[in-house]
C-alpha cells in the first residue's frame, strides 16, 4: 500500500502592529521601566522600530528608566522578556533586541 500526500504551502503573515503590541506589553512586565521614549536618530519619532533581517526581526526600543536601579540589569531583562514574548506569541525569530536608554526619571514625575 502506498500512501500519497500532497504538500500545500501555507503562509502566515503577522503585522508589525501585532509585534509592536507584544513588545509594548512585554516591556510593562519589567520593573524599573518608567516609559517608552523616542528612538535616537529616528526621523519619525518612533519609540519602537521593527526591521526584517533575513528570516528574523530586529527590534529597537527607546526607553526611560527609573533612577536608583541597575540600568544594565534592567536593559538585559527587557531584552530577554521582549525576545521571549515575541518568539513565543508570534512564532517569529528575533535576532536582536537593541535597547536605547534615552533618560532616567524619578517615579514622582509620573
> Is position 9 within any domain?
no
Say which residues have a Cβ less than 8 Å from residue 76's Cβ, sequence separation at least 6.
none
Q: Let me know: does 82 contact 94? Beta carbons within 8 Å.
A: yes
Instruction: Tell me how many domains the chain contains.
Output: 1
- pLDDT 10s digits, 19-78: 999 999 999 999 999 999 999 987 778 999 999 888 899 999 999 999 999 999 999 999
> Is position 70 within any domain?
yes
- pLDDT 10s digits, 63-85: 999 999 999 999 999 999 999 99
The whole-model pTM stands at: 0.84
Structural domain span for residue 98:
16-109
CATH number at residue 65: 3.30.70.1350
Amino acid at each position: 500500500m502506498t500512501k500519497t500526500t500532497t504538500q500545500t504551502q501555507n503562509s502566515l503573515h503577522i503585522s508589525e502592529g501585532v509585534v509592536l503590541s507584544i513588545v509594548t506589553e512585554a516591556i510593562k512586565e519589567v520593573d524599573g521601566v518608567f516609559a517608552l521614549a523616542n528612538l535616537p536618530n529616528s526621523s519619525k519619532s518612533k519609540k519602537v522600530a521593527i526591521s526584517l533581517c533575513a528570516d528574523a526581526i530586529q527590534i529597537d526600543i527607546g526607553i526611560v528608566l527609573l533612577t536608583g536601579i541597575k540600568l544594565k540589569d534592567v536593559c538585559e531583562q527587557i531584552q530577554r522578556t521582549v525576545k521571549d514574548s515575541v518568539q513565543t506569541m508570534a512564532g517569529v525569530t528575533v535576532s536582536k533586541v537593541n535597547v536605547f536608554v534615552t533618560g532616567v526619571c524619578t517615579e514622582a514625575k509620573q
